[in-house]
């Protein structure tokens, strides 16, 4: 049985039973009923509670024995000591998978370890998938199953595996606020049965997943993990943030999910050997994943920059250099061609291209088309000043805005190169932004975020190239190291600049 079939009851259940459902809104037993019921889950929900007739508008069942036979998924929120017997009763009713939200297992001491060992054996003997214990549930876009969040995530193609439920929830909220979208989320918890590697293998086989993000506190079987990663990396990128860089993190991980964090330097080398993109801030993984799921991979690390203001040009160029990108000077013929498009008072376009507050949408479409067509430019950063309400001043202006935006939206496919943008959150509005979002051109709030995202595209392109050339080796690092800014200042060679017109 492959992972897609084995984990079908977890990510594609047609029905779920909430064991330990509660009418008290502050309890997990209530959230596990209300969240799927209120965020569009398409299957049947069966709350189990002997003291309530109805919870969140749904009929309850007094005991597990009173449930219909053959429910796909049991979601258990009972006290830890009650979980083993409840799991046995669920299996007796033909349930095919389980998610144990309850805490109080291996992370809580010896008695908890015994309970965790007991549910592990029950699940393994029955050959059912079990998530947890000590987890915060899942989100699965294909069936709109939301156990983890008060508000369902936006739908997309990123799948996120988090060993921490609370941190995973926090990061997903931040990601939603930035407009990022997801295929799935899973809080793996103590990993009594299903480990992060199992979920990784599943999402590696899942056609709807285009990029995978991991937050890990420890690995139980590094050899198996490496094998799975090596199989997936040539098809889709894997980005990882792992706790345990410092002693305090190792200690915290042990008390949190009973995980041994391991030696960080060894893990860093391991990431380079197998092609993982390692990040040193958990939210960085999301910025990179958004670009990786929407844009073509660049052939190199040479970028062009265009904006309506010089300050953005300067800071974007510095951010690009800090993340290991190059900002080559435009050749004179190209610069002169672009100069003819800009206002007469605009600076001579060396790269970055400062459009000097030009608000004509077609100016940017024409210039970006030229930049994308250059054989020494591998990608473009843009901050374009026509995603504001004041631009919608006439029918002709709207037509130009839409026409120019459609041209820019078609350029990544035309040239096989990425375009990344910057915008002011909650200020940028209108049809241009809507068209960019539909076309999958990502916009970021800061220059550092944009540069980091482009560096992720460059890094994965290098990983893919190396993976094709030479087999993976355990002897020495092969891939570019981690996502840390490069501490150097890039010098721009002097060129002859014509005087202003």
Q: What is the CATH number of the domain that holds 271?
A: 3.40.50.261
Domain boundary residue among 292, 312, 341?
Answer: 292
pLDDT tens per residue across span 433-470? 889 999 999 999 999 999 999 999 999 999 999 887 65
Residue 71 lies in a domain: yes
Share of the chain above pLDDT 70, in %: 87
Residue 483 lies in a domain: no
Domain boundary residue among 256, 271, 292?
Answer: 292
pLDDT tens per residue across span 316-335? 999 999 999 999 999 999 99
Q: Could you count the other beta carbons within 10 Å of the beta carbon of residue 299?
A: 15
pLDDT number for residue 388? 61
Considering the domain architecture, whether residues 432 and 318 belong to the same structural domain is answered as yes
pLDDT number for residue 220? 83
Considering the domain architecture, whether residues 159 and 286 belong to the same structural domain is answered as yes
Angle 191-279-257 from CA coordinates, rounded to 5°: 20
Residue-number span of the structural domain to which 422 is assigned = 303-453
Angle 275-272-249 from CA coordinates, rounded to 5°: 110
Residue 320 lies in a domain: yes
Considering the domain architecture, whether residues 198 and 110 belong to the same structural domain is answered as no
Residue 480 has pLDDT above 80, yes or no: no
pLDDT number for residue 246? 56
Cα 55 to chain centroid distance, Å, stands at 33
Angle 353-386-413 from CA coordinates, rounded to 5°: 70
Give CA torsion, residues 135, 198, 2, 275, to 10 deg: 140
Considering the domain architecture, whether residues 433 and 315 belong to the same structural domain is answered as yes
Flag the least confident range among 92-96, 248-252, 370-374. 248-252
Considering the domain architecture, whether residues 310 and 448 belong to the same structural domain is answered as yes
Residue 121 lies in a domain: yes
Considering the domain architecture, whether residues 312 and 370 belong to the same structural domain is answered as yes
Give the strands of the sheet with 277-278, arranged side by side.
Answer: 145-146, 138-140, 181-187, 154-162, 211-216, 238-242, 277-278
Relative to beta strand 58-59, strand 54-55 is antiparallel
Considering the domain architecture, whether residues 218 and 92 belong to the same structural domain is answered as no
pLDDT number for residue 389? 55
Residue 478 has pLDDT above 60, yes or no: no
Considering the domain architecture, whether residues 312 and 285 belong to the same structural domain is answered as no
Considering the domain architecture, whether residues 416 and 379 belong to the same structural domain is answered as yes
pLDDT number for residue 489? 32
Residue 139 lies in a domain: no
HEC profile of 148-200: CCCCCCEEEEEEEEECCHHHHHHHHHHHHHCCCEEEEEEECCCCCCCCHHHHH
Considering the domain architecture, whether residues 342 and 425 belong to the same structural domain is answered as yes
Angle 238-243-249 from CA coordinates, rounded to 5°: 175
Residue 488 lies in a domain: no
Residue 217 lies in a domain: yes
pLDDT tens per residue across span 204-255? 999 999 999 999 988 889 899 999 999 999 999 999 998 765 555 444 444 4
Question: How many domains in the chain?
Answer: 3
Could you tell me the pLDDT band of residue 21, with boundaries at 50, 70 and 90?
very high
pLDDT tens per residue across span 387-440? 665 555 678 888 888 999 999 999 999 999 999 999 877 666 678 888 999 999
Residues 6+ apart with CB under 8 A from 400: 360, 361, 362
Domain boundary residue among 259, 292, 325?
Answer: 292
Residue 336 lies in a domain: yes
Q: CB of 342 within 8 A of CB of 356? A: yes
Considering the domain architecture, whether residues 169 and 268 belong to the same structural domain is answered as yes
CATH code where residue 77 lies: 3.40.50.720
Considering the domain architecture, whether residues 309 and 433 belong to the same structural domain is answered as yes
């Amino acid at each position: 049985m492959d992972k897609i079939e084995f984990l079908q009851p977890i990510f594609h259940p047609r029905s779920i039973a909430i064991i330990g459902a509660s009418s008290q809104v502050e309890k997990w037993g209530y959230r596990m009923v209300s969240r799927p019921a209120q965020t569009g889950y398409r299957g049947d929900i069966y709350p189990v509670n002997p003291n309530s007739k109805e919870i969140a508008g749904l009929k309850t069942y007094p005991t597990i024995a009173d449930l219909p036979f053959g429910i796909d998924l049991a979601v258990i929120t009972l006290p830890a000591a009650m979980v083993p017997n409840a799991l046995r009763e669920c299996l007796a009713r033909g349930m095919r998978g389980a998610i144990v939200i309850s805490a109080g297992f291996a992370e809580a001491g010896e008695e908890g370890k015994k309970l965790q060992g007991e549910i592990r054996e029950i699940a393994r003997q029955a050959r059912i998938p079990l998530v947890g214990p000590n987890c915060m549930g899942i989100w699965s876009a294909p069936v709109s199953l939301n156990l983890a969040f008060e508000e369902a995530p936006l739908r997309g193609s990123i799948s996120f595996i988090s060993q921490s439920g609370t941190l995973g929830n926090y990061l997903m909220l931040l990601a939603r606020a930035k407009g990022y979208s997801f295929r799935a989320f899973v809080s793996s918890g103590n990993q009594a049965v299903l480990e992060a590697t199992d979920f990784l293998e599943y999402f590696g086989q899942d056609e709807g997943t285009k990029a995978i993000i991991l937050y890990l506190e420890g690995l139980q079987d590094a050899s198996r993990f490496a094998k799975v990663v090596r199989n997936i990396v040539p098809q889709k990128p894997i980005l990882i943030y792992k706790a345990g860089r410092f002693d305090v993190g190792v200690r915290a991980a042990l008390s949190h999910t009973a995980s041994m964090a391991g030696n960080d330097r060894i893990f860093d080398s391991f990431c380079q050997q197998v092609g993982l993109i390692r990040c040193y801030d958990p939210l960085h993984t999301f910025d990179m994943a958004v670009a990786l799921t929407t844009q073509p991979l660049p052939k190199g690390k040479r970028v062009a920059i265009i904006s309506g203001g010089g300050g953005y040009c300067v800071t974007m160029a510095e951010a690009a250099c800090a993340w290991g990108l190059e900002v080559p000077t435009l050749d004179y013929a190209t610069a002169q061609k672009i100069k003819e498009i800009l206002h007469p008072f605009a600076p001579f376009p060396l790269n970055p291209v400062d459009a000097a507050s030009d608000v004509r949408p077609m100016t940017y479409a024409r210039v970006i088309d030229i930049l994308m067509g250059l054989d020494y430019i591998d990608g473009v950063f843009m901050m374009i000043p026509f995603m504001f309400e004041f631009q919608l001043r006439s029918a002709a202006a709207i037509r130009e805005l839409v026409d120019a935006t459609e041209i820019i939206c078609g350029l990544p496919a035309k040239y096989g190169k990425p375009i990344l943008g910057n915008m002011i959150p909650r200020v940028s509005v209108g049809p241009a932004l809507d068209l960019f979002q539909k076309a999958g051109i990502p916009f970021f709030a800061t220059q550092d975020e944009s540069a980091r995202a482009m560096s992720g595209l460059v890094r994965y392109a290098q990983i893919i190239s190396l993976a094709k050339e030479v087999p993976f080796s355990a002897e020495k690092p092969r891939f570019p190291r981690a996502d840390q800014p490069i501490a150097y200042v890039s010098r721009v060679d002097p060129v002859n600049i014509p005087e202003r017109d």
